[in-house]
Amino acid sequence: MPNIIGKNINLRLVEIKDAEFILNLRLKKGEFLSATNPNLTEQENWIKSYKKREELKEEYYFIIENKNGLRAGTLRLYNIDYKTKKSTFGSFIVDREIEYTHKLSAFEAMNLIFGFAFKKLSLNNCFFCNQKNNHKANDFYIRFGAKIIKEDDMDYFYNFSIDDYHNLENKI
């Protein structure tokens, strides 16, 4: 599968060589992420396992790169269900401290991944959750057009639909 090319960033599929970058990124930006084991070998093994799911088209895990090829983040589609045309979106981390990473990289990365989900995979809905206390990310998701569909004590649960994507396309 080819890279997804954007204006300021590109998305490429994760490789085992990205394990150290991903591990460091998760440890650095981990305040709102699920627990991360700091063992590099375990991260490499997780990627090997993921690559099997990728081959089966069950999951796609991308590295966000700026136009100079510097890795700037990650994002992922998983739990892909082609019958119900839905998936889960997650593992979304952008390190804006990476040199030459455009300030709109997070917006562009989401636009690219949802374009891939809706146009290439023919999905209709992408679901995700985010901790309530991650105010900056929640504000971003709402501005992007995601809808809160439920909540619990700790998390908001979002849906971003193909209709939301088309509405966003009309605004860009």
In this predicted model, what pLDDT tens digit does every residue of 68-78 receive, in sequence order? 899 999 999 99
User: Exposure of 36 by Cβ count < 10 A (0-12 exposed, 13-18 middle, 19+ buried)?
Assistant: middle
In this predicted structure, what is the pLDDT of residue 160?
A: 97
Model confidence pLDDT, tens digit, residues 127-171: 999 999 999 999 999 999 999 999 999 999 999 999 999 998 876
**Average model confidence (pLDDT) for the chain?**
91
In this predicted structure, what is the pLDDT of residue 38?
A: 87
User: Exposure of 61 by Cβ count < 10 A (0-12 exposed, 13-18 middle, 19+ buried)?
Assistant: buried
Q: Which residue segment(s) compose the domain that 15 sits in?
A: 4-171
What's the number of domains the chain is made of?
Answer: 1
pTM score: 0.92
Q: Does the pLDDT value for residue 100 go beyond 60?
A: no
In this predicted structure, what is the pLDDT of residue 125?
A: 98
Q: At what angle do helices 105-115 and 135-144 cross, to 10 degrees?
A: 50
Q: Which CATH number covers residue 82?
A: 3.40.630.30
